Amino acid sequence: MTTLFVSDLHLSAARPDKLTLFETFLAHARRSANALYILGDLFEVWLGDDDDDPAHRAVIAALAATSAAGVALFFAHGNRDFLCGSRFAAQTGATLLPDYATVDLGGERAVVTHGDLLCTRDVAYQRFRRVVRHPLVRGLFLATPLRWRQRIAQGTRRGTQASAGRKAGEIMDVEPAAVRDVLAAHDATLLIHGHTHRPAIHDLEVGGRACRRIVLGDWYTDDDVVRIDTGQVERLRIDEFLAGA
């Protein structure tokens, strides 16, 4: 069984080459994969399921074609698209995942997540995350007109970029203790996540067991996909995946 993992694509009309690349990737995935996990930040920004951006509509159509072709589609919310909701799921055929979800990969128990919750040293971000994801705050925000949400998001994004530029790099990476805690809590030996834009495969030990942490790359520079087939892990650039699919 072939399972694909991607994260941090940050798709938008401002990057039409990546939109085309994603559609090509999905076309190949329909022929070669059994399941596809998108672990957050599929979009540069998603302001609600009533978002009428033509680029977003094209992505939804391509995802719908993929699930209709028989590929099991799973979606984890990222910090850019945590407002993807039930209408998005219905239109794409995707299953929305909780913050941490477990999956069997060729007999190995894995836990998948976007990755931002693992960055526990970024206290200011974790506080902000709790506020904006509170059901009351979400509901009030989604009740405002879409154009208002777009203006609010523009201001918030400028502030977030300025804040990120002032933070030390290690604060924006995962906390090793949080990684071990998640693996132990879910009785897993494999953790797969994105968010940090630091693609790698890390070996570690948790409770006397050998474990791995796979960090997915972004689609700003890495164009990264991880393919797992019967326990074998391959990290590929999209052009390598397309050439071999």
pLDDT tens digits for range 30-76 = 999 999 999 999 999 999 999 889 999 999 999 999 999 999 999 99
What pLDDT was estimated at residue 150?
86
What pLDDT was estimated at residue 245?
56
What pLDDT was estimated at residue 154?
78
What pLDDT was estimated at residue 162?
46
Q: Give the residue from 72, 11, 65 showing the smallest Cα distance to 37.
A: 72
* pLDDT beneath 70, residues of the chain: 155-170, 245
Q: What is the CATH number of the domain that holds 189?
A: 3.60.21.10
What pLDDT was estimated at residue 36?
98
What pLDDT was estimated at residue 116?
97
Sole residue written with tokens 């699919």: 245
Q: Give the residue from 196, 148, 202, 153 showing the smallest Cα distance to 171.
A: 196
Q: How many separate domains does the chain show? A: 1
Whether the predicted model's global pTM rises above the 0.85 cut: yes
CA distance linking residue 68 with residue 121, whole number of Å? 41
* Domain coverage including residue 56: 2-244
What pLDDT was estimated at residue 153?
79
Q: Would you tell me how many other CB atoms lie within 10 Å of the CB of residue 214?
A: 20
Give the sheet arrangement for strand 190-193, strand by strand.
Answer: 101-105, 108-112, 190-193, 209-215, 200-206
